[in-house]
Chains A and B, each alone.
Chain A
Amino acid sequence: MTTLIEAPPNDADGLLPSKSKASGGGLGTYLLIRFFLIIPTIFILVTMVFFLMRVIGDPITAAQGGRLPPDVLAQRIHDAGYDRPIIVQYLEYLGQVATGNFGTTITDRRPVVEMLATFGTATLELTINALIVALLVGIPLGLVSAYKRDKAPDAFLRFFAILCYATPVFFAGLLMKLTFSVWLGWFPVAGRASTRTELAMGSLAAPTGIYWLDALRSGNMAALGDVAAHSILPAVTLGLLTAGVFLRLVRTNVIGTLGKDYVEAGRSRGVSDFRLVTKHAYKPALIPIITVMGLQIALLLGGAVLTESTFEWKGLGYQLVQYLNARDFVAVQGIVVLLAVIVAVTNFVVDVAAALIDPRVRY
């Protein structure tokens, strides 16, 4: 990430690089190096989370201490191997994680991987919905803001962007709920779908867990409408958080490219201001946006935890809070590690995308 942020994205004179395969060697090396950089990141995070969670004691005492007689507790700890030296447990854990085994949750005795798969799809759906909202709101408004620079619309939009950032997602969610669910009654208060829809979709063979897809596959229009009604408020709540960031980014970058010589040249040839913004300045300004989108994934996932709790959206974030309250640290550790891996991989994908679009990134 760092290398990309430090590459000045503003001097995009060579806009729209032709994707010639001539520089393929440089790209290949870059991708390879970038790929291997994921490993230390994930390794550090896994290590950090493991030791931090163990500082406070073994997971079984944390979850069930006080509720079980001491000898039963000691037996359980022994059975699970938590009484061995921590370094042995750590190495074993690393081996398990490498093979995709995250252990079994303590409170409801489910394999962590299965739990992650079940709730991960819900979080994925929410995050994608939110990202769509963010892009639909952020990019056009950012263009308007840059086009009307330092005039009233710009001032208003910049204030709007700061407000998006300044409002905690759960407060935004609360306002949405109050306004659109309780007072206007347009949308349901919470959840991902009503019980009837969930039942209808549950009868599908091999449900994907992504309700949009499942509702489409069931061919039930009422179910689709129900899913849509449930997703709008959470998506807008989480999307607005990121929309402000996109708005400001688009604005800054478009203003940067608008000052470039080729834009000036276009202007001198009589290209209209509107066309200059939408055709000439817009595309090179998108490159840093793709890069920052990677950084936003971390923000989005953090926001998703709060949004899910607000709307009882049963995804990883909602589940994380449940497990945290139950002090089930094996499950918590699994969720946290998964989110860390998602962030690291997303950053990689984003870097690859940036390298494909902009050859200057590969060095």
Chain B
Amino acid sequence: MSAITDSGRKQPLIYRLPVISHFRTSVGLQRGMLVTGLVLTVVFLLTAVFAPVIAPYGFAQLSDASGTFPAQQPPSAAHIWGTTVSGYDVFSRVIWGAQTAAVVIIVAVVMSIFLGVALGLLSGYFGGWLDRALVVIADAIYAFPSLLLAIVMSIVISRGQSSFWGGIVACSISISVVFVPQYFRVIRAETIRLKAEPYVESAKVVGASSFRIMGRHIFKNATRTLPLIFTLNASEAILTLAGLGFLGFGIEPSSAAEWGFDLSKAINDASSGIWWTGIFPGTAIVLTVLGLTLVGESINDLNDPRLRGRRKSGSKVPGGGSDRAATAALQAEVRSS
């Protein structure tokens, strides 16, 4: 983590940015993984941003100038990936689905970071009964099947389905409830560690308020691992969103395109041999999650000197790696699964 830049000299800002510095330290297979992940992620984001330009039809469009779209049509010139049972254009819905997924991830992850970091700082810094209560609750939520929790939340928030923004906010809150405990735990652990550092002590002596210490001194140092958790959670968010949509608790098909919902309709198609309604949205999910996971995994490996590949091909694994690094890597591994 601290070994992002190797030399003691301070490097230009651009080389110290998370992903760029990781790219520079990577070699061989790890660089390949990172680049693959980055390419997939960038393609996903570009698709999300330019969905209105790329998609030939709207996500809820059922007809055009030449008439109503035929249902369950195999791929053809007019509908390059075919049409669904309700007559939607599969290609357009996959493209628009990227936009829905991107918005939900961003809203969900930002919300959970905000809450998780705030609670983690408070809990770790002040300790006491608040800390104990929050830890027990976070552990209970953490042990719970996340999809079930998301389902319960989505019932509570929207009673199932709703409009585009309503649905997106409902899905995002449902997903973020699952993630808040993760951020909470990481930030709390870091805060407890940093609380004992001399510079925090000296800030106290100078008379800084608790909130100033948390905001200025601890926050910046406790959030080093966030980019990693962010990428790992982003991929989990997509899977949870798709799971919700698959079970019918996502966003209504007329208000936004959602890959999981489309797949739930495609399950019945599959039994009768109709493959195009399922394969395309499914592949979109896999590629997006794959891209985000590869980026997250690579950052994780590159942060950990024990796992990082070496430019000079030393055949022996450095034996002196600290146990703490090993544990951290294992925890990250466990978390990411």
Interface residues of A (CB under 8 A from B): 1-2, 5-6, 8-11, 40-41, 44-45, 48-49, 52-53, 55-56, 150, 155, 162-163, 165-168, 170-171, 173-175, 177-178, 181-183, 189-190, 244-245, 248-249, 252-253, 255-256, 258-259, 288, 292, 295-296, 298-299, 301-302, 305-306, 309-310, 320-321, 324-325, 329, 332, 336, 339-340, 343-344, 347
Contacts and interface: CB of A to CB of B under 8 A. Distances in A.
B319 to A, nearest CB: 6
Given A249-B333, A324-B155, A339 B148 contact: yes
Contacts of B155: 53, 56, 324, 329, 332
A201 to B, nearest CB: 24
Contacts of B148: 301-302, 305, 336, 339
A52 B153 contact: yes
B270 A182 contact: yes
A340 B148 CA distance: 9
B323 interface: yes
Interface string B60-74: 000000000000000
A306 B159 contact: no
13 contacts: A2-B139, A10-B330, A44-B136, A45-B144, A170-B242, A171-B286, A173-B267, A182-B272, A252-B329, A302-B147, A324-B247, A343-B144, A347-B143
Contacts of A253: 330
Contacts, number: 184
B198 to A, nearest CB: 25
Interface residues of B, number: 61
A14 to B, nearest CB: 15
Nearest to B138: A2
A310 B289 CA distance: 20
Given A41-B140, A302-B148, A249 B337 contact: yes
Contacts of A171: 263, 278, 282, 285-286
Contacts of A340: 144
B266, B267, B321: residue with the most chain A Cβ atoms closer than 10 Å: B267
B297 interface: yes
A168 B153 contact: no
Given A177-B271, A302-B145, A166 B290 contact: yes
Contacts of B3: none
Nearest to A11: B323
A256 B317 CA distance: 10
A8 B140 CA distance: 22
A165 B329 contact: no
